[in-house]
Structure 1
Amino acid sequence: MKRQWRQRSTERATAEAAREAGLSSLQARLFAGRVSEPNPDRIKTLLRPSLRDLPAIGQLPDIDVAAARIARAVTTGEIIAIATDFDADGASSSAVLWSVLTGALAVPVERLHIVIAHRLADGYGVSDNVVDRILALEPRPSLVITADQASADGPRITRLKQAGSDVVVTDHHLIPDEGCPKDAVACVNPARIDSAYPDRTIAGCMVAWCVMAMTAKVLRESGAAVGGSMLDALQYAGLGTLADCVDLGRSRVNRFAVQCAIRHMRASSLPVWKAMAKYTRGRFDSQALAYQICPRVNAASRVRHADQAVAALCSTDEATAQSWVDALDAANTERRAIQAALLERALEMAEEAVADGARALCITFYADGHAGVHGIDLGTVPNHAF
């Protein structure tokens, strides 16, 4: 089959408007090949959205119920457990929930637990192992808030309910055919079929941020004191959004989260960013986040435990933050070495298959490889391997 290249058509009015909005000629041509929008002001809001340009978070399903339940737990002194996934989105979600609860909502740390699954020992989601760990907590939580998981964990949520713990699910993954967990107090997920929220691509950490923003609103309206802003938490949400590789092209919510995070990281007083500056050469932009910060945050769960990433993100002093960030860097170095060894072995296996007469793409199966590193893109494989 002969490969043919076809130039994408562009709208001249859109290209002119894009240049008027501040884009270079090349950027304007690329933009005009994908979007039809002749209004420069509209283009500016598409490329650099502000909070007022985003969909109303009240359109997320169950968010009012979730916020009301969390607000009640905050004001009545309940014990709360945060249960999140172990990847960078999950670790960022933990930081979002922890920072808002301990900061703006002034919940004492003695009333909070963080429970993150171990990638190798516990598996994905709110597994039975995770439920066992939650039920063993002292004091036992009466409310569990999940993030970046649990939409498909109905049976485990039923276990928690039967043991006396309410569960508020916040997530962004697909809903199973049987529907949301029936015993959850609320299931806030833009992927729900009944969701009125127009953006189904937001990351789990952004769903968690929306829920906490609504909780703060509920508490303010009830007359409770809510201090500070949501900016620190939004920095974590932007980090997790970029790390989770969600759609930045079609989603202005995701663009807002990342752009806002980068903008505030540069002037932030959060110790973790000062510690990370050692590895980003003092730069905080999308490249530094994607290739320096995100891999280090994610490496913790791949070769150690995601608790280390959360500890780094939520550190309250620079010395502690630097110690945890250096630990993340060591984990990332270990991950890279394992990944390089896996690639070398995969190439050997592929070459063996070719030598045995394989005439198609070789998909190697290496059962003895590191389960925490399997699945990472191993990069470009040399042509001679096939």
Structure 2
Amino acid sequence: MDINRYQWQVLPIISLPSWLVDIVNKYCANSQGTYAAQLLWQRGIKTKEKLQGFLDSDYYQPLSPWEFGYEMKLAIKRLKFAMDNQQKVTIWGDFDADGITATSVLWEGLGQFFIPHLQLNYYIPNRSKESHGLNIPGIKKLAEEGTILIVTCDTGSTNLEEINYANSLGIDIIITDHHTLPDERPNVISIINPRYFSEEHPLFSLSGVAVAYKLVEALYLSFPETPKSPLENLLDLVAIGLIADLVELKGDCRYLAQQGLKKLQQQLTNTTRPGVAFLLKLCKRSGDRPTDISFGIGPRINAISRIQGDAHFAVELLTSKDDKLCNKLALETELANTRRKSLQKDIKKDVEKNYKC
């Protein structure tokens, strides 16, 4: 490659407002903060509110779940109807790290309003046999078990045929997802998907777990009198799913990841999720930085479905309070990841052997 053909395009140095440099300087030890201020300005951070929110998550003002408008209101209305009439609700998740954490967030969040295992269950499709999304055999099984309402997470936006089939069995569906939008709105009670926002919107980059979190947040706001565990207890799960899914960390995504990492790093000293603590120990991470998820916890959760197909137990790993069970499940997860790495190495060797360049 002739590197002389390419030239760096450098933006000109501009005169920055003194307030910008002063604020950045507080966060840049042993420097005047000028270069950092220049970069932030060029990224479009040009107000004190945006700057402080970017540099310190405690200053960031996350958007309300009601930003999703009428769709969120419809979802809450239908969930209230299910509560009042003691209807059986099933969370339909996905088998990757974002889908597993999203399922876990809804399992714990909705579990404050529905009796787990009696009124509330979850369904994770088998990666090998069912693949992503809603499917007709799974829906039929849930109907036979008495499910009246399905709440999806990290999936479902384009499953039009499956949604119509569910409706024919008397099952309503609430979609929470962040993937490609359908050409026309599906026949669902509600579809909560940040893709309806513009790309500049602070919620546009939310992953499946973050959308699920927003639904739970709306429930908490709608029923303040219901006794429940603190909403922020879910943030470590949100951070795991967000970072593992490699979404762009800007706006509310960045805020939720930052707040979630604060919760995650507490698991080794003040354990509330034994499964997460065991995973951190197995991958020799402290949980205080994004790479602890992207190179530690995330690949281990993803390995479960890639090796075994069935990732159903991963939700239990993340939500159970039983130390003995979580230790067993964490070791099973570690074994799956070890097998995944071994297979990856074998495949690499085969490729290098058969396709030498």
Using the size of structure 2 for normalisation, the TM-score is 0.87
Instruction: Please tell me the residue identity of whatever aligns with 1:164.
Output: G
The change in CA–CA distance for 1:32 and 1:195 in structure 2 (over 3 A counts) is closer
Instruction: Please tell me the residue identity of whatever aligns with 1:167.
Output: I
**1:88: how far off?**
0.6
Instruction: Give the match for residue 273 of structure 2.
Output: 270
Instruction: Please tell me the residue identity of whatever aligns with 2:311.
Output: A
CA contact (8 A) 2:52 2:59 kept: no
User: Equivalent residues in 2 for 1:1-386 (5 A)?
Assistant: 1=2, 2-9=5-12, 11=14, 13=16, 16-17=21-22, 19-24=24-29, 25=31, 29-30=35-36, 32-33=38-39, 34-37=42-45, 42-50=50-58, 53-61=61-69, 62-102=71-111, 104-105=112-113, 107-136=115-144, 138=145, 140-177=146-183, 179-182=184-187, 184-192=188-196, 198-220=202-224, 224-248=225-249, 251-268=250-267, 269-281=272-284, 283-285=286-288, 286-304=290-308, 305-351=310-356, 386=357
Single out whichever of 328-337 and 16-25 deviates more from structure 2. Answer: 16-25
Aligned partners of 2:15 and 2:314: how far apart in 1? 47
Aligned partners of 1:94 and 1:10: how far apart in 2? 47
The change in CA–CA distance for 1:21 and 1:349 in structure 2 (over 3 A counts) is farther
CA contact (8 A) 1:68 1:218 kept: no
Instruction: Please tell me the residue identity of whatever aligns with 2:161.
Output: P
Give SS of 2:304's match: helix
The change in CA–CA distance for 1:328 and 1:10 in structure 2 (over 3 A counts) is farther
The change in CA–CA distance for 1:233 and 1:5 in structure 2 (over 3 A counts) is same
CA contact (8 A) 1:11 1:36 kept: no
Instruction: Please tell me the residue identity of whatever aligns with 1:48.
Output: D
CA contact (8 A) 2:172 2:189 kept: yes
Aligned partners of 1:197 and 1:16: how far apart in 2? 26
CA contact (8 A) 1:242 1:258 kept: yes
**1:44: how far off?**
2.3
Using the size of structure 1 for normalisation, the TM-score is 0.81
Give SS of 1:82's match: strand
Instruction: Give the match for residue 365 of structure 1.
Output: none
CA contact (8 A) 2:174 2:191 kept: yes
The change in CA–CA distance for 1:197 and 1:6 in structure 2 (over 3 A counts) is closer
**Alignment size in residue pairs:** 342
- Name stretches of at least 5 consecutive residues in structure 1 with no aligned partner: 352-385
Aligned partners of 2:300 and 2:49: how far apart in 1? 38
1:268-321: CA deviations, max 9, x gaps?
422223222322435112221221111111111111122122121111222211
**1:30: how far off?**
4.9
Aligned partners of 2:59 and 2:124: how far apart in 1? 30
Aligned partners of 2:51 and 2:199: how far apart in 1? 27
Give SS of 2:282's match: helix
Instruction: Give the match for residue 363 of structure 1.
Output: none
The change in CA–CA distance for 1:36 and 1:163 in structure 2 (over 3 A counts) is closer
The change in CA–CA distance for 1:164 and 1:196 in structure 2 (over 3 A counts) is farther
1:306-365: CA deviations, max 9, x gaps?
2122121111222211111111111101111111122222223432xxxxxxxxxxxxxx
CA contact (8 A) 2:202 2:251 kept: no
Give SS of 2:301's match: helix
